[in-house]
Amino acid sequence: MADRSILGLFQEAEPAADAMDGLAQAGFEAGTFDVLTGTPYPEGAFGEHVPQHRLFRFPAFGAIIGFTTAILLTAGTQIAFPMVTGGKPILSLFAMIIIVYEMTMLSAVIATVIGIIFESRLPNMNPGAYDERITEGWIGVVISVESTRAQEAESVLKTAGALEIKHAS
Amino acid sequence: MATNSALAGQATAPESHAGHGSDAGHVVLRPADVKTTLIASTTAGARGFKRWSIVLGVLTIVGIAGIVLKAVQSLDDQTEWGYTAAIAAFLLTVGGGAPLVAVAPVLAKANWVRPLTRLSAAFSLMGVVTIAIMVPLVAVLPPLVTEGARRRSIWFESPDLTPHVMIFLAMGTLLLAGLGLFYTSAMPDFAAMRDHSTGWRRNVGKSLARGWVGSTVQWRTLRMRIGMFGTFYFLVLIYTHFVFTSDFAMGVVPGWRDAIFPMYHSMSSIQAGVAVTIIAAWAARRYLGLQDYLRLDQFWSLGRLLFATSLLWVYFFFSAFIVFWYGRSLADIAWVDMFIRGPMIWAFIPGMFMSFLLPWWWLIWNRVRTSVNGPTIGAVIVLFGLLLDRMRIYVSAWSVPPEQIHERYLHTIPDTVWPDTFDYMIIVGALSAAALVMLLIFRVIPIVSIWQTQEYQLLSKPVKYLRGHGVLVAKPD
Amino acid sequence: MQQRRVLDQVETNRILLNGQLNTPKWWLPTVLGLGVVVLIGFVIIGFMVNRGLGVTGLSRPVYWGLFITTFVFWVGISHAGIMISAILRLTQAEWRRPVTRAAELLTVFSLLTALIFPLIHAGRPWRIAYWILPYDFARGIFPNIRSPLIMDPVAIGTYLTGSTLFLYVALLPDLGNLRDRTRGWQKTLYTVLALGWRGNPRQWKLQTVGGILLSALMLPIFVSVHSIVSWDFAITPAVEGWHSTIFAPYFVIGAVHSGVSAVVTMMALMRWLWKWDDFIRPEHFDALARLLIVVATAWLGFTFLELVFAIYSLDAPEIALRELQIFSWPWNLMFGVFLMTGYIIPVGMWLFKSVRNNIALMFWTSLFVNIGMWLERFMIIVPGLSRRTPFVYTWDSYRPSLVEWSILVWSVAWVTFLMLLFSRFFPLVPLFEQKESQIFVDKIKIGRVNVPAILREQE
């Protein structure tokens, strides 16, 4: 079980990509090491493990919940208090559509936001090794390893040109 | 490379980044190959072309016979011409809207549209068929003053036959604007035909290229003209829909006042334009072997547009519907009874499914959009939906007896009018004539613009970014 | 893109986080000044609530006046955010980057403000509780969902919630940045809000995909909101000039026109106040002005259709209304000002590149648009009601009172106040978007020319 988080800091992208290559070649499992940047880079730029996600399920799930709730709410309340207004039927489908539409969309948006946060693996209260300079343009290559392989990981990072190494448990 | 050190010196230009026949990724084509392949597309599939043009030609003649026979039988009875009005509206909607695919994304500097500009602009020439069908319709359209009183019209106090003249003026201008857009952007390709094809195509290229040599001034003028014709075309298209919808639909139904209707019509025109472009691109891939030119990127982008326009279609529909449904004035009730739950409900329900519900549910899936067949199936559904929708509107509208035209609202909802033999002949003939026009155009000029494809090759470059791959796409100011 | 100066990330942080880390000297006095205006506004609202709607100029038959006009106006302004953020994101327009955050923020605060107007317009705002929430399970009496007055809060509530969440999600990377640049209680605040953001590929991918997904979800909401507001008017045949099928898209396109213009106004202010010349550049104003020419012309087309098909009916009351709106004093003056400021002056000027690239002129012309658009709403709502119609036995011309004008001024101060307050704690320009554009923007050399280019990832 990985118990140490080691961060190599780079000022340029190329050596950071070299470090990622080096870690892969040294046999560290994909997914245990990652690159941290202050801005999005093109996907795969560092040869990193391409993240898979299930974000698209969230809005669908949210929409279903919103739709069902809205149908129950609009139909239920009108049946519970059946007062004819404007000569319209008690269950006025076309008026219901508007409310149902809004509630479906609202629910889908809320679910999407939950999905984005969840799939981003947030909130993360124990983020491991990190450096504030990453949001100033430095690039961090971070790896979670067992203590026994910490030395090896650190050496790969240094060989690639890491300017600094930081540790966290 | 002032801004980007990681890219510096790493641009690569492999012969084919994705490989021939693969739909994904970026493909690098040599300029000479582009020219040869695309010019060859004008002669490709000669046997199939001959067979199809004979079939379509015969069906066109059948359509003409249908119009003549119907005119002989009922030129004095407006209520017999609903299906003819519907097919005219359909062709205006489809043919008129397609060139916008060539205009709007170009203004937004979208590169994916480059292989589609020729195809979509050519649809404006279907206007020839639409104008021809308008002749009997104009002949049966009642004048502004009928039975001693002036009817409601957007022309108010104008001379009696203003709508009759204005529709030809509008459609004629639209056709000319479309022709201008099509021809202007085709000049460099006519020059290519002049220089690299043989026989009569070479002669056609020579006379239509008009001395094109590709000088800086010519290119600058060309871009300016495309922009001008594109903008002009769009404005005329909206105007034509405005005139057509108010004179040939709203004007013949008492009490129908629907300010959104021209925009609804224009909106569906954009939707149908996207749909027909997808279908034509699919056919060009299938029958002319242009897989390297009309790629997944084009279908994916058009699929997204079709999805968006299908949503807009239902939005425009609902915006009108909810106002009538809530309004409950006598005119409002008559509208709902006439156009929704009335005589054409058989067209309304499948039309709603095919214009919105089915394409929405189909195209919402990313996997469907990122395919060639997915958007094409969606496009076919949309076009069927549109045809039904135009029937719903125009057959209902034209079935109102002219003696009711001065009423404040429609007192009696007419019965369902079913198509007769002549209507079937006209519908099939009109569609065949339109298809024939398109078929003939692409025997003269390549279906994919040579110069636009070459320009795209110049403006895009596959690059390696650190360990990843991407395409650097230039966006000239 | 030629006007671009290349800045490294440290420099970008320094400039764009100056609102939070190095608050400008003008900020505190301005916020205090606005705070006083806002406070006075609240006192006036309190006075009106205490005395009742008699202190306004509202009277039968004009029961919807300046408050409802201003409500529609602010809902219109709120269309700025999603228009800029979602549409331009989906179309991958590079120039959107510096303006998205401020536009989304304007959406949130203008919607909040819009919601206040029907509330105070109700006269006894506490009774709102019976109108929407809580649902009255005890007595079995429920709101009438067939009424647009129920649809309105549902739509605006959806839009407000969605926009706020959208804003927050897109703020996460910048909150991480602020966390790294601050100390003490501020660091604690940003640490909590950033939720442990680190900037790994998974988080960036979710930002990108989530941004696109949320944009696609927010767009239909954005369209529905002003459409539903328009149906407050359009579904009733009782008032001439309101019962028109075109109202929904007409309101939406008008809202986009006024909202995007408000973004231009705000961008000019941001450039001047925070000196963000390197980020908010003339090319952005140029692009927005081009967009506005198209939007404004489409809006004018809808205005034309609305007018033509009103007269088309040949109904005497409808024609009388149009005569009142266009030819009778003082409506004719308002109509003239509306047309000049809403379209003719600004669009006429935007046709010239020199104007589009002149920030001062863009500022004033965009302000003009919103004067025109406010008048447009006023002219839609009031003349239709103020006509003497057959079954109206009391009628009065409507003149907004000082209380109403004061509350209008308050609303402008309130939105500005909230924006400035936000700017003290959160960056108005998305930093990560700026930095991203520096990664993705490049040039292709064609012959002797370097053409601006964008790096696109392969599908």
Residues C379/C334, Cβ–Cβ less than 8 Å: yes
CA distance A68 to A100: 8
3-state class (DSSP) for residue B108 = coil
State the average pLDDT over residues B197-225: 91
Phi, psi of A141 (to 5 degrees): -110, 120
Phi, psi of C286 (to 5 degrees): -60, -45
pLDDT digits (tens, 9 = 90+) for B131-158: 999 999 999 999 998 878 888 899 988 8
Say whether pLDDT at B464 is over 90.
no
**Overall residue count recorded for chain A in this entry:** 169
pLDDT digits (tens, 9 = 90+) for B352-402: 999 999 999 999 998 999 999 999 999 999 999 999 999 999 999 999 988
Q: Out of A107-111, B94-98, C58-62, which region has the weakest mean confidence (pLDDT)? A: C58-62
pLDDT band, very low/low/confident/very high, at C137 (cuts 50, 70, 90) = low
State the average pLDDT over residues B267-292: 94
In-domain check, residue C2: no
CA atoms C47, C48, C49, C50: torsion sign:
positive
Residue of B nearest to C459 (CA): B25
Query: Could you list the residue range(s) of the whole structural domain that residue C439 is in?
Result: 9-388+403-454
State the average pLDDT over residues B7-35: 56
C158 vs A53: CB contact, 8 Å cut-off?
no
B326 vs A86: CB contact, 8 Å cut-off?
yes
Say whether pLDDT at B15 is over 50.
no
Residues C284/C337, Cβ–Cβ less than 8 Å: no
The pLDDT score that the predictor gives to residue C176 is 95
Which of A69, A98, A104, A118 to mutate: most C Cβ within 10 Å?
Answer: A98
Most confident of B210-214, C135-139, C209-213, C345-349: C345-349
pLDDT band, very low/low/confident/very high, at B24 (cuts 50, 70, 90) = low
Report yes or no: B465 at the A interface, CB cutoff 8 Å. Answer: yes
Say whether pLDDT at B317 is over 80.
yes
**Element holding B173 (H helix, E strand):** helix B162-196
The side-by-side arrangement of strands in the sheet containing A4-10 is: A33-36, A139-145, A4-10, A164-168
Say whether pLDDT at C108 is over 50.
yes
pLDDT digits (tens, 9 = 90+) for B61-73: 999 999 999 999 9
Say whether pLDDT at B181 is over 70.
yes
Domain ranges (residues) in chain A: 4-49+127-168, 57-119
> Which residue from B318, B450, B445 is spatially nearest to C228, judged by alpha carbons?
B318
The side-by-side arrangement of strands in the sheet containing C449-457 is: B460-465, B468-474, C449-457, C441-446
**Overall residue count recorded for chain B in this entry:** 477
Say whether pLDDT at B17 is over 50.
no
Strands B468-474 and C441-446: unpaired
pLDDT digits (tens, 9 = 90+) for C276-290: 998 899 999 999 999
- The ranges of chain A with pLDDT < 70 are 1-2
The pLDDT score that the predictor gives to residue B477 is 56
State the average pLDDT over residues C421-434: 92
3-state class (DSSP) for residue C444 = strand
Say whether pLDDT at B11 is over 50.
no
> Which residue from C271, C269, C292 is spatially nearest to C281, judged by alpha carbons?
C271
Chain CA centroid to CA B390, Å = 14
CA distance C436 to C433: 5
The set of chains that have 3 or more CB pairs under 8 A with B is A, C
B324 vs C245: CB contact, 8 Å cut-off?
yes
Report yes or no: A144 at the C interface, CB cutoff 8 Å. Answer: no
CA distance A71 to B423: 44
Question: Based on C-alpha coordinates, what's the Rg of chain A?
Answer: 25
> Which residue from C452, C175, C183, C11 is spatially nearest to A120, judged by alpha carbons?
C175
Touching B: C residues 212-231, CB under 8 Å: 220, 223, 227, 231
Residue B60 exposure: Cα atoms within 13 Å on the Cβ side: 17
Single-letter amino acid code for the residue at C189:
L
The pLDDT score that the predictor gives to residue B85 is 97
Say whether pLDDT at C132 is over 90.
no
Residue C242 exposure: Cα atoms within 13 Å on the Cβ side: 24
The pLDDT score that the predictor gives to residue C1 is 43
Say whether pLDDT at C162 is over 80.
yes
pLDDT band, very low/low/confident/very high, at B25 (cuts 50, 70, 90) = low
Residues with Cβ within 8 Å of residue B365, at least 6 apart in sequence: B374
The pLDDT score that the predictor gives to residue B148 is 80
**Element holding B356 (H helix, E strand):** none
The pLDDT score that the predictor gives to residue C3 is 52
Look up the CATH number of domain A4-49+127-168: 3.30.70.120
Say whether pLDDT at B13 is over 60.
no
Residue C244, classified by CB atoms within 10 Å of its CB into exposed (0-12), middle (13-18) or buried (19+), is buried
Report the predicted TM-score, pTM, of the whole model to 2 decimal places.
0.93
C244 vs B323: CB contact, 8 Å cut-off?
yes
- For C83-222, strand residue ranges (E) read none
Report yes or no: B330 at the C interface, CB cutoff 8 Å. Answer: no
Question: In chain C, how many domains are there?
Answer: 1
The pLDDT score that the predictor gives to residue B23 is 61
DSSP B206: H
Residue among C151, C158, C202 minimizing CB distance to A106 = C158
Strand-pairing partners, residue B145, are B150
pLDDT band, very low/low/confident/very high, at B12 (cuts 50, 70, 90) = very low
B468 vs A87: CB contact, 8 Å cut-off?
no
A45 vs B466: CB contact, 8 Å cut-off?
yes
The pLDDT score that the predictor gives to residue B117 is 92
In-domain check, residue C459: no
Quickly list H helices, chain A.
13-25, 57-80, 93-119, 147-160
Report yes or no: A86 at the C interface, CB cutoff 8 Å. Answer: yes
CA distance A31 to chain C (A): 11
CA atoms C86, C87, C89, C94: torsion sign:
negative
> Which residue from A68, A40, A59 is spatially nearest to A113, judged by alpha carbons?
A59
Token output for B177:
């604007």
pLDDT digits (tens, 9 = 90+) for C177-204: 999 999 999 999 999 999 999 999 999 9
The set of chains that have 3 or more CB pairs under 8 A with A is B, C
Tell me which chain A residues have a C-beta less than 8 angstroms from the C-beta of B5.
12
The pLDDT score that the predictor gives to residue B467 is 84
For chain C, the average pLDDT equals 90
Residues C342/C379, Cβ–Cβ less than 8 Å: no
Single-letter amino acid code for the residue at B224:
M
Residue among B325, B467, B468 minimizing CB distance to A94 = B325
Token output for B130:
């639409």
Domain ranges (residues) in chain B: 31-301+394-473
CA distance C401 to chain B (A): 33
C154 vs A102: CB contact, 8 Å cut-off?
yes
pLDDT band, very low/low/confident/very high, at B246 (cuts 50, 70, 90) = very high
Single-letter amino acid code for the residue at C438:
Q
> Which residue from C163, C82, C89, C78 is spatially nearest to C116, judged by alpha carbons?
C78
Say whether pLDDT at B18 is over 50.
no
The pLDDT score that the predictor gives to residue C359 is 96
Residue among A43, A95, A115 minimizing CB distance to C146 = A95
CA distance C218 to A137: 32
Pairs of CB atoms within 8 A across A/C: 188
3-state class (DSSP) for residue C90 = helix
Report yes or no: B466 at the C interface, CB cutoff 8 Å. Answer: no
pLDDT digits (tens, 9 = 90+) for B303-315: 999 999 999 999 9
Say whether pLDDT at C459 is over 60.
no
Residues C228/C152, Cβ–Cβ less than 8 Å: yes
Percent of chain C at pLDDT > 90 equals 66
Single-letter amino acid code for the residue at C137:
F
The pLDDT score that the predictor gives to residue C80 is 81
> Which residue from C316, C315, C335, C317 is spatially nearest to C325, judged by alpha carbons?
C335
pLDDT band, very low/low/confident/very high, at C245 (cuts 50, 70, 90) = very high
